[in-house]
Structure 1
Amino acid sequence: MPRARRVGLTGGIASGKSTVSARLAELGAVVIDYDRLARDVVEPGSPALDQIAARFGADVIAPDGTLVRPALGAIVFADPSALKDLEAITHPAIRDLAAAREQGAGPDAIVVHDNPLLVEMGAAAACDVVIVVDVPEQLQIDRMVRDRQMTEQDARARIAAQASREERLAVADVVIENTGTLEQLSARIDEVWKDLVEPSAR
């Protein structure tokens, strides 16, 4: 059995996915950060940003031509149809950029697509292995309120805007539960990495 080359990594907001991603990078994975891609595709002058301005209006564009993320977020997280319109603009651009980044990796690399919207973008099927970082919804809320100074209402709105916990788990090949200590999480990540590098060893 060949080792996985394309690994999908996802998890709900405040699940700890970024910690998992960082550790996988330390272990040798080539990580493609979709949050970074999402910023790159809306740089001033980009076709995606022009489309966003046309759809959502001048209030989401700053005087220097950059995207005003809080203004856009206030619109799309309160209106599911607006969020779908935004995703129709950004997701194709993100997919194209991710493909270009993957082509730059070596043929033997393990490429981790660190994508919080893996399910929403329909990208799970294109991955050799899908890793889901999973925590209960109440823990997500508690972390957002504590660590990001969000209100509980805003936290619930962010969760509702993503795929459900059940939808993520339905596409998972590997589940990393992140309800324990950082040491426990690190040990679990190392275990998963060993399976990615040597899938026939277990």
Structure 2
Amino acid sequence: MTPATSASLTRLGLTGGIGSGKSTVAALWRAAGHRVIDLDAYSRAVLDVPGEGVEEAVARFGEGLRTPAGTIDRAALASIVFADPAARADLEEIVLGRVDRAVGAEERQAADAGELFVIHDSPLLLEKHQEAGYRAVVAVLARREDRIERVMRDRGKDRAYVVSIMAAQVTDLDRIRRADRLVLNTSGRDVLADRAEHALAVVTAGLGDLADSAVR
């Protein structure tokens, strides 16, 4: 579920599989001055800050998940929900409403500031079939082996873990079919930056004209 946004504000989606370089593209766009809303960060905050979200998770999944800091042991929780669709659905119910409210507040700030668009950095956008909520969706693609090696190197995960996450996500063929624009992460960072800049320019073309028409 994605929150309703202001009529004067366009929502764009950014997605990509684990290790694809999606977060790098998000960082590049953010550094260029664009508002990129990290949906994963908002989701993590529900369980990483003591409060109602943590209490609901403990009530559903057990006191043993509470850390000494009063947050949720995310690794232990992941081991529960990864293999249990019902548990995963319960977790999403705990998290998503809070995420929607936080995202909505940031979008209102963007609209009040006169910004023309916001970008949702959303790793599960296509898995959740949310593309209809966006003017355009940009997907980042990379070679399978590059993705596996990147996650193993940068996050300290083993190959089996990365492959299991990939299996739970949509395929690159799905991304190609369903995204409006692709960014290929098949060369160095400089090439990726150029491709990301071009993709954003394409999907935002004409937004200023649309805003002027709405005012008139």
The answer to whether the superposition gives a TM-score over 0.5 is yes
Letter in 1 for 2:142: V
- Counterpart for residue 51 of structure 2: 45
Structure 1 stretch displaced more, 113-122 or 14-23: 113-122
Alignment of 1:1-202 (within 5 A): 5-42=10-47, 43-46=49-52, 48-105=53-110, 106-199=113-206
8 Å CA contact retained: 1:4, 1:196: no
1:83-116 deviations in whole A, cap 9, x for unaligned?
A: 2332232223222221221111033332010111
Moved more, 103-112 or 66-75: 103-112
Aligned residues: CA RMSD: 2.2
Look up the equivalent residue of 2:123 and give its one-letter code. Answer: P
CA distance in 2, matches of 1:167, 1:95: 26
- 8 Å Cα contact 2:127-2:169 kept in structure 1: yes
Distance in 1 of aligned mates of 2:44 and 2:134: 23
| Residue range with higher mean Cα deviation, 9-18 or 164-173 | 164-173
Question: TM-score with structure 1 length normalisation?
Answer: 0.86
Quick one: percent identity of the two aligned structures?
37
The Cα offsets for residues 131-172 of structure 1, whole Å up to 9 and x where unpaired, read as 101123333222222222211111112222333333333330
3-state DSSP of counterpart to 2:138? strand
1:41 partner SS: helix
CA distance, structure 1, for counterparts of residue 9 and residue 187 of structure 2 = 27
In structure 1, C-alpha distance between the alignment counterparts of 2:64 and 2:104, rounded to whole Å = 32
Tell me if the contact between 1:78 and 1:157 (Cα under 8 Å) persists in the aligned partners.
no
Check the 8 A contact 2:182/2:199 in 1, yes or no. no
Change (3 A) 1:87 1:170: farther
Unaligned ranges ≥5, structure 1: none
Matched residues in 1 for 2:170 and 2:93: separation? Answer: 16
